[in-house]
């Protein structure tokens, strides 16, 4: 197999692995929403000690999640082999590949512990966050491979001052909001507030008990929305110099607004499956989009001076006035 053909296959494998990881996240949300976490009893990796699960809906949902996670593990293994063969010197791959493997292992361990030795909600809430990190790592590797020599040219131009720190802060704060949301779900507090945006008809219902947990999550989600709005406004001032950051920020802002709408639907529909899956899927895409912004805020690593000089003219031709200030 020629090298170019091999690289093309690995790129498609990266896309398939990212899509597969998104599917794993959605199946995990289905398990939690339908209460199917104990559908296979206290048996892992088998289901009730059997290779073929009994024909009950909870067992089929839980076992399907396990099977798809196993298939995803095989895809990740194949992707790792391809990355080490063709892109092992890329600095982004050297960081993202170990992160992908580590998060997959941690996710599997947490999933097994949830069945064999149920943990506290504080620990169980980590499971969803680890899954999002695994998804983001695969998504970013797919982006690195697909943008090689094309979309990555923007990264040869410096990002706006302080944008990288703001993007990193957005990722960290969004992770905190996600953890709080997962904690709300695992403490069965999702319907502690039966209305939206108020809680029990009050603007400030207090911070005690299940109502306090939900209210804290809503406050954090509001703060996260304002943070992403600020990120988009700042990126808009530099849209000519770095259109990738501008459009990426707009996508993230649109996703966080959609996430808020799905949260309202989740409450008003009394935790319907569709609303729950929408809530989980949108937040996965939101987290991935923010991680993509962080990737593009990091200067393009180049191993040879000639490579940097080759990329610079393309970036300057595509991004006018790259060294200039923000638009007024």
Catalytic residue check, 62: yes
Token couple for 203: 């603007």
CA distance 197 to 204: 11
239 neighbors 163 (Cβ within 8 angstroms): no
Coil, strand, or helix at residue 304?
coil
> Which residue in 118, 216, 227 sits closest to 169, CA to CA?
227
Please list, in sequence order, all residues whose beta carbon lies within 8 angstroms of the beta carbon of residue 33, skipping any fewer than 6 positions away: 271, 273, 276, 277
Q: Which of 3, 4, 38, 62 is catalytic?
A: 62
CB atoms within 10 A of CB 120: 9
> Which residue in 66, 58, 73 sits closest to 20, CA to CA?
73
| 253-285: burial string, b at 16+ Cβ within 10 Å, e else | bebbebbbebbebbbeeeeeeebbbbbbbbbbb
Angle CA 105–110–116, to nearest 5:
125
Please list, in sequence order, all residues whose beta carbon lies within 8 angstroms of the beta carbon of residue 105, skipping any fewer than 6 positions away: none
CB atoms within 10 A of CB 181: 25
CB atoms within 10 A of CB 188: 11
CA distance 287 to 101: 19
Helix intervals (H) in 148-208:
163-186
Coil, strand, or helix at residue 47?
strand
Residues classed as catalytic: 62
């Amino acid at each position: 197999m020629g090298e170019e053909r091999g690289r093309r296959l690995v790129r498609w494998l990266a896309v398939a692995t990212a899509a597969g990881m998104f599917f794993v996240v959605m199946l995990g949300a289905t398990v939690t929403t339908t209460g199917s976490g104990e559908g296979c009893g206290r048996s892992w990796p088998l289901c009730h000690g059997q290779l073929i699960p009994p024909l009950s809906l909870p067992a089929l949902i839980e076992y399907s999640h396990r099977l798809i996670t196993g298939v995803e593990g095989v895809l990740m293994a194949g992707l790792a082999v391809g990355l080490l063969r063709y892109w092992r010197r890329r600095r982004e791959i050297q960081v993202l590949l170990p992160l992908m493997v580590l998060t997959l292992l941690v996710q599997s361990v947490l999933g097994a512990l949830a069945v064999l030795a149920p943990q506290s909600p504080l620990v169980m809430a980590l499971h969803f966050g680890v899954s999002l990190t695994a998804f983001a790592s695969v998504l970013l590797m797919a982006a690195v491979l697909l943008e090689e020599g094309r979309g990555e040219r923007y990264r040869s131009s410096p990002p706006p001052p302080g944008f990288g720190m703001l993007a990193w802060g957005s990722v960290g704060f969004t992770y905190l909001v996600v953890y709080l949301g997962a904690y709300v779900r695992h403490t069965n507090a999702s319907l502690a507030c039966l209305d939206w945006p108020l809680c029990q008809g009050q603007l400030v219902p207090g911070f005690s008990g299940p109502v306090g947990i939900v209210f804290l999550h809503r406050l954090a989600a509001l703060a996260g929305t304002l943070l992403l709005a600020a990120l988009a406004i700042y990126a808009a001032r530099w849209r000519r110099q770095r259109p990738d950051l501008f459009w990426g920020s707009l996508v993230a802002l649109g996703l966080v607004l959609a996430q808020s709408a799905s949260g309202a639907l989740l409450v008003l529909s009394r935790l319907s499956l569709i609303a729950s899956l929408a809530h989980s899927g949108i937040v996965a895409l939101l987290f991935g989009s923010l991680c993509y912004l962080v990737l593009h805020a990091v200067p393009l690593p180049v191993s040879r001076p000639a490579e940097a000089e080759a990329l610079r003219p393309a970036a300057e031709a595509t991004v006018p006035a790259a060294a200039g200030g923000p638009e007024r």
